[in-house]
Amino acid sequence: MATETPKQIAIRNIWLDNQVLRQILGICSSLAVTNRMQNSLVMGLGVVFTTAISSLILSALRSYIPQRIRMIVQVLVISFCVILVNISLQAFFPSVSKQLGPYVGLIITNCIIMGRAEAYAAKNPPLASLLDGLFAGLGYTIVLLMISLIREVLGFGTIFGVALPFTFTTWTLMVMPPAAFFIIGTFVWAVNNYQARREEKQGIVRSGDLTIQKKEGGAQ
């Protein structure tokens, strides 16, 4: 696999192949915890930590993990990172931990983390894997914050729990999971439509994991 620069890794994970908007991963937590920005930020940071550290560890150990048990080891390492996050939240932010409830523990089953471990950390050196996990988590966090900004403002009339300087009639629908579903769907449509138009103008054809740049007289 060609070596990527940190900038390329960041752009790929945050924009070009965003885990939520482009890969359609991590949708469950995106629906569940985005009613308030504080919850979204804490969940996002937990995923950032877990994805980055687990990718680093699994990449460093990739040559020593037998192929037949690699997924068991991946789950074990991810679980260790999530336990650290959960214990830290319970110790330092008990109110936030209580609001998030079981969703912190469910980070273990987040497809983004396992996906980066399997698709990238298992094939690349530790530093690149650390950056890949870090920016994949940041891309996820940014999407969560965008969704929760809309939901909290319209549903509660606040931002990070601080009341807005003006009043309006809040929408009860916005504090319910279906609101997140429709907002995510709109974001996914907008981003993919924009990317499709951009790639069409540049003459790029995507086929699975392959990106082919068209040239006059044929495709390469």
Does 86 fall in a domain?
Answer: yes
Does 1 fall in a domain?
Answer: no
CB 131, CB 53: distance < 8 Å: no
**What is the Rg, in whole angstroms, of the alpha carbon atoms belonging to the chain?**
19
pLDDT value at residue 204 = 62
Does 133 fall in a domain?
Answer: yes
pLDDT-flagged residues of the chain (< 50):
1, 208-210, 214-220
Tens of pLDDT, residues 142-157: 999 999 999 999 999 9
- Domains identified in the chain, total number: 1
Cα 60 to its chain centre, rounded Å, is: 22
Does 220 fall in a domain?
Answer: no
The boundaries of the domain holding residue 76 are: 6-215
CB 152, CB 37: distance < 8 Å: yes
pLDDT value at residue 220 = 40
CB 144, CB 43: distance < 8 Å: yes
C-alpha span between 136 and 101 (Å, rounded):
24
Tens of pLDDT, residues 194-218: 988 888 888 765 554 445 554 444 4
Count of C-beta atoms within a 10 Å radius of residue 93: 14
C-alpha span between 103 and 105 (Å, rounded):
5
Tokens 């070009």 found at: 16
Given strand 218-219, what is the order of strands in its sheet? 204-207, 210-215, 218-219
Residue 120, judged by CB atoms within 10 A of its CB (0-12, 13-18, 19+), counts as: buried
pLDDT value at residue 206 = 56
C-alpha span between 23 and 169 (Å, rounded):
35
Q: What is the mean pLDDT of the chain?
A: 89
pLDDT value at residue 201 = 83
